[in-house]
Amino acid sequence: DTEVTQTPKHLVMGMTNKKSLKCEQHMGHRAMYWYKQKAKKPPELMFVYSYEKLSINESVPSRFSPECPNSSLLNLHLHALQPEDSALYLCASSQDLTNKNIQYFGAGTRLSVL
């Protein structure tokens, strides 16, 4: 099983709302990632967790707050977003951070900020 599950699939929120994106994997992977993808562009790395600790933050605005409550779950908390934050948000996981490990992606959450 190489499945990464993301919920919800679609999300519409206003600029004053607070919402969360969820990601789950049961492959025993110890590295998990959040990416942002705009239309017709490659994914852009936002955050990396390794063994439930934040390893990389790509200078993401504080209105995005990641959380890794355990090795199977990754959340992205959203607050006071801007319309330009509308995008597809992808979660991925890999066995660990060595470069020979494949990153497996979820189907994404399509976010619209009004």
Partner 1 sequence: GDSVTQMEGPVTLSEEAFLTINCTYTATGYPSLFWYVQYPGEGLQLLLKATKADDKGSNKGFEATYRKETTSFHLEKGSVQVSDSAVYFCALSDREETSGSRLTFGEGTQLTVNP
Residues that bind partner 1 (CB under 8 A): 4, 6, 31, 40-43, 45, 48, 50, 55-56, 88, 90, 92, 97-108
Q: How many CB atoms lie within 10 A of CB 33?
A: 26
Q: Which lies closer to partner 1 via its Cβ, residue 30 or residue 79?
A: 30
Q: Which residues contact 11 (CB under 8 A, 6 or more apart)?
A: 19, 21, 109, 110, 111, 112
∠56-42-52 over CA atoms, to 5°? 25
Q: Which lies closer to partner 1 via its Cβ, residue 16 or residue 42?
A: 42
Distance between CA atoms of residues 85 and 111, nearest Å: 8
Q: Which lies closer to partner 1 via its Cβ, residue 80 or residue 88?
A: 88
CB of 53 to partner 1, least distance (A): 11
CB of 57 to partner 1, least distance (A): 10
CB of 92 to partner 1, least distance (A): 8
**Sole residue written with tokens 């239309």:** 39
Q: Which lies closer to partner 1 via its Cβ, residue 9 or residue 18?
A: 9
